Amino acid sequence: MERIILAHGSGGRLHHQLIQEVFLGGLENRTLGELLDAAIIDPPAGQRMAFSTDSFVIDPPFFPGGDIGCLSVYGTTNDLAVSGARPRFLSAGFIIEEGFLIDDLKRVVASMREAAERVGVEVVTGDTKVVGRGQVDKIFINTAGIGFIPSGVELSPLRIKAGDQVIVSGTLGDHGLAILGQREGLSFSTPVVSDCGPVAGLARALLGEDPAQVRCMRDPTRGGLATTLNELAQQGRVAIRVDEERIPVLPAVRGACAMLGLDPMYLANEGKLVAVVAAERAEEMLRRLRSVKGGERAGLIGEVTDGSPGLVLRRTALGVERVMGMLEGEILPRIC
Tens digit of each residue's pLDDT, the chain (336 residues): 799 999 998 889 998 898 988 998 888 888 888 888 888 888 888 899 999 999 999 999 999 999 999 999 999 999 999 999 999 999 999 999 999 999 999 999 999 999 999 999 999 999 999 999 999 999 999 999 999 999 999 999 999 999 999 999 999 999 999 999 999 988 888 899 999 999 999 999 999 888 999 999 999 999 999 999 999 999 999 999 999 999 999 999 999 999 999 999 999 999 999 999 999 999 999 999 999 999 999 999 999 999 999 999 999 988 899 999 999 988 889 999
| 285: in domain | yes
Based on the domain organization, do 208 and 102 belong to the same domain? no
| 70: in domain | yes
Based on the domain organization, do 277 and 315 belong to the same domain? yes
Domain count, the chain: 2
d(CA 235, CA 187): 39
Based on the domain organization, do 168 and 305 belong to the same domain? yes
| 129: in domain | yes
Based on the domain organization, do 183 and 139 belong to the same domain? no
Based on the domain organization, do 133 and 165 belong to the same domain? no
CATH number, domain at 20? 3.30.1330.10
Based on the domain organization, do 123 and 163 belong to the same domain? no
Q: Are 305 and 238 in contact (CB under 8 A)?
A: yes
Last residue of a domain, one of 132, 149, 166: 149
| 252: in domain | yes
| 1: in domain | no
Based on its alpha-carbon atoms, the radius of gyration of the chain, rounded to whole angstroms, reads: 21
147 Cα distance to chain centroid = 15
> Which residues form the domain of 136?
6-149
SS (H, E, C) the chain: CCECCHHHHCCCHHHHHHHHHHHHHHCCCHHHHCCCCCCCCCCCCCCEEEEEEEEECCCCCEECCEEHHHHHHHHHHHHHHCCCCEEEEEEEEEEEECCCEHHHHHHHHHHHHHHHHHHCCEEEEEEEEEECCCCCCCEEEEEEEEEEECCCCCCCHHHCCCCCEEEECCCCCHHHHHHHHHHHCCCCCCCCCCCCCCCHHHHHHHHCCCHHHEEEEECCCCCHHHHHHHHHHHHHCCEEEEEHHHCCCCHHHHHHHHHHCCCHHHCCCCCCCEEEECHHHHHHHHHHHHCCCCCCCCEEEEEEECCCCCCEEEECCCCCEEECCCCCCCCCCCCC
For residue 163, count other CB atoms closer than 10 A to its CB: 13
| 328: in domain | no
Based on the domain organization, do 72 and 192 belong to the same domain? no
Q: Which residue(s) pair with 93 in the sheet?
A: 127, 142
3-state secondary structure of 291: coil
Based on the domain organization, do 50 and 112 belong to the same domain? yes
Q: pTM of the prediction?
A: 0.95
Based on the domain organization, do 75 and 99 belong to the same domain? yes
